[in-house]
């Protein structure tokens, strides 16, 4: 833990000197992440950078990757602000003579350059898919499910960001229930 904390402090002060001056963000070492193979996670709800205890990725790259999410405010995915911040970190590594680290940062960044751009339509499609899969689920259950896989916002943030969420949910639920009701009420032909 002390080694990871020391690396965290070094990465923060060297690559992100303006970030977290008030000390609002914390570092947490976790044994492993449940249900995923992730080695790190930027948790906006608790303002915590979570790092797996024994990551395969070099710890400096992993810390830069996760802190770049916090600095770029890029919760949704590995989009342009995050990609830009990662390149800035790579350039900093170059200027201080850490060429190997700079290349590892660029290699990590490159993994995400062809990721499709995040759009609200992704969320709305996920809502309709979830309603079709579980029409008995209420709005909060659907939103919690979609949010878990696409951002992990607070409910208030989610509804503010995706203003049409309830409308999309209600429209699709009505369609699904009408279709299923008509299937159940149809008389078989002889």
- Cβ atoms of 44 and 152 within 8 Å: the answer is yes
Confidence (pTM): 0.61
- pLDDT of 58 over the 60 cut: yes
Reported as a single tens digit per residue, the pLDDT across 163-179 is 999 999 999 999 988 88
Domain 2-110 indexed as CATH 3.30.2010.10: yes
Break the chain into its structural domains and give their ranges: 2-110, 120-182
- Per DSSP, helices labelled H in 43-162 are 59-72, 80-95, 99-110, 120-133, 139-149, 155-161
Reported as a single tens digit per residue, the pLDDT across 98-113 is 999 999 999 998 887 7
Half-sphere exposure at residue 109, Cβ-oriented, CA atoms within 13 angstroms: 21
């Amino acid at each position: 833990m002390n080694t990871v904390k020391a690396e965290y402090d070094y990465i923060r002060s060297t690559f992100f000197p303006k970030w977290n001056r008030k000390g609002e963000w914390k570092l947490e070492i976790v044994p492993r992440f449940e249900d995923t193979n992730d080695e790190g996670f930027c948790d906006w709800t608790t303002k915590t950078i979570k790092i797996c205890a024994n990551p395969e990725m070099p710890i400096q790259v992993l810390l830069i990757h996760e802190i770049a999410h916090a600095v770029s405010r890029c919760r949704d995915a590995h989009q342009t602000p995050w990609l830009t911040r990662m390149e800035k970190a790579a350039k900093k590594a170059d200027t201080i003579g850490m060429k190997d680290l700079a290349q590892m940062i660029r290699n990590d960044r490159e993994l995400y350059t062809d990721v499709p751009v995040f759009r609200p339509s992704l969320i709305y499609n996920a809502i309709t898919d979830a309603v079709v899969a579980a029409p008995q689920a209420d709005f909060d259950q659907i939103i919690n499910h979609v949010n878990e896989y696409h951002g992990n916002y607070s409910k208030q943030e989610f509804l503010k960001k995706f203003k049409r969420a309830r409308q999309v949910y209600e429209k699709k639920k009505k369609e699904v229930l009408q279709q299923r009701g008509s299937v159940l009420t149809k008389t078989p032909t002889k």
